[in-house]
Structure 1
Amino acid sequence: MSKTYSAAERVYDEVKEAILTCELPGGELISEGEVAERCQVSRTPVREAFLRLAAEGWMRLYPKRGALIVPVGERESREVLEARLLVECHAVRDIVARPAAIGPLVDRLRANLALLEGASGDDFARIDTEFHQLIVEAGRNSILQDFFTSLGERRRRMTAASMHRDAGVTARIQRDHIALADAVAAGDADLFARLLREHLAGVHEVVEVDR
């Protein structure tokens, strides 16, 4: 049983990673046999992994046909982006109310921007996620920090999907992040809110993000 459990965990990790990076894009149908061959295991651990991924909402199971990777729906995208807008803008309002907190955060944001410049693929998506996480962590609200962290997998998948859809989106993310960091440096929470709204809507192709 321990070997089966270990194999199921490995299959779960590998398939979930492929979903989050959009190697397995939303709408794709995969079979237990394909994954068993890819992971070099029997179908039993694959079935266990599929059940777990389905319970978490990442896939939908169809008996004798396989598993459908659940796409990121328009409603989910909008709700995630609206939540991000609320949390990040709240954090920046708190930060600019404490001028001594601005400089250290801007230094961290610009160090992140330096890493983003030479990154690609999943590394780029990870560093992009860290940029926004740094802002929220500086906002001194542990409950909102935990909530924002809980969105991490959805955020990462949405960014990966945008990068797969449009290779040029990485250049936009870099430009937008520079402007967002400059808004923080200027202590302008209203400008940050406007730029973040435009950033989220543009990168993820949502017509309007607002709350």
Structure 2
Amino acid sequence: MAVEVSEAGATPSARDRVYQWVRDEIIKGTLPAGRFLDEVWVSELVGTSRTPVREAFHRLNSEKFIDLLPRRGAQVRSVTSRELEEVYASRRLIEGHAARELCLASLGAPPTLDELAAGMEEAGREQDWFTVARLDRAFHRAIVDAHHNSVLTELYDALRSRQQRVAVRALQIRPQRVPEIDRQHRAIVDALARNDVDGVAVLLDEHLRPIPEITAALG
């Protein structure tokens, strides 16, 4: 089981290890919507006591990954069309503002974008949707972070896990969109590099619009 390490280099707590494992398996779809999660099963799998599992479940519940049901335990939530639309609407507001401000300040494209775009293209060819979603998240966060507005970055970071889950689900439903998504990423980098305020706004608005076929499939 891969474990994230904090920026300070500290080993994550038992609660964080449980949270990371369950979150990632839900994002990947290994723990599908509707699946009930047993505290004992999770604690044995991750190698912790039941207390960190309960604590992690409360966090996952607050982030809309699971529902805590009286006398029935934890159940993985479905990704709904409404959730997808709300996540993308929030992203359009935050990312669109950050990108326009970068162009107005003539700051160009953040230097990591080309490498992240290339990584997504490679993972997409292998249909590794979890990696695509992780790199996609890093790509778009780099744009927000370059604006150096700590409040906007905090708001954006609150979307992290739901953003990745929505992205994986969308890719699973319509994998044929991957080449188009790759082209959009490259166009966004180019617009930022040219400090094209209007162009990057249009590109992000198009890129972050839910696809009708995907919302219809989610119901």
Shorter-chain-normalised TM-score: which range?
A: 0.7 to 0.9
Residue segments in structure 1 that go unaligned for 5+ positions in a row: 1-5
Residue 115 of structure 1 corresponds to: 119
| Contact 1:89-1:189 within 8 A present in 2 as well | no
Residue 183 of structure 1 corresponds to: 191
1:101-140 to structure 2, matched below 5 A, reads: 101-102=107-108, 105=109, 107-119=111-123, 120-140=128-148
In the alignment, the residues of structure 2 paired with residue 21 and residue 43 of structure 1 have an alpha-carbon distance, to the nearest angstrom, of 24
In the alignment, the residues of structure 1 paired with residue 113 and residue 133 of structure 2 have an alpha-carbon distance, to the nearest angstrom, of 15
Residue 68 of structure 2 corresponds to: 61
In the alignment, the residues of structure 2 paired with residue 111 and residue 163 of structure 1 have an alpha-carbon distance, to the nearest angstrom, of 21
Residue 19 of structure 2 corresponds to: 12
| Contact 1:162-1:169 within 8 A present in 2 as well | no
- Do structure 1's residue 173 and structure 2's residue 181 form an aligned pair? yes
| Contact 2:84-2:210 within 8 A present in 1 as well | no
In the alignment, the residues of structure 2 paired with residue 108 and residue 49 of structure 1 have an alpha-carbon distance, to the nearest angstrom, of 32
| Contact 1:8-1:49 within 8 A present in 2 as well | yes
Residue 85 of structure 2 corresponds to: 78
Specify which of 160, 163, 167 is matched with residue 159 of structure 1: 167
CA-based RMSD: 2.9
Residue 3 of structure 1 corresponds to: none
Cα distance change, pair 75–121 in 1 and its aligned pair in 2 (3 A): closer
- Do structure 1's residue 150 and structure 2's residue 170 form an aligned pair? no
**Cα offset for 1:128?**
0.8
Residue 149 of structure 2 corresponds to: 141
| Contact 2:94-2:144 within 8 A present in 1 as well | yes
- Do structure 1's residue 21 and structure 2's residue 25 form an aligned pair? no
Residue 199 of structure 1 corresponds to: 207
Secondary structure of the residue aligned to 1:201 is: coil
**Cα offset for 1:88?**
1.3
Structure 1 residues 64-73 or 80-89, which shifts more? 64-73
**Cα offset for 1:43?**
6.2
In the alignment, the residues of structure 1 paired with residue 52 and residue 102 of structure 2 have an alpha-carbon distance, to the nearest angstrom, of 47
Structure that is richer in helix per residue? 1
**Cα offset for 1:144?**
1.0
Structure 1 residues 147-156 or 6-15, which shifts more? 6-15
Secondary structure of the residue aligned to 2:189 is: helix
Residue segments in structure 2 that go unaligned for 5+ positions in a row: 1-12
| Contact 2:129-2:172 within 8 A present in 1 as well | no
| Contact 1:8-1:46 within 8 A present in 2 as well | yes
**Cα offset for 1:143?**
1.4
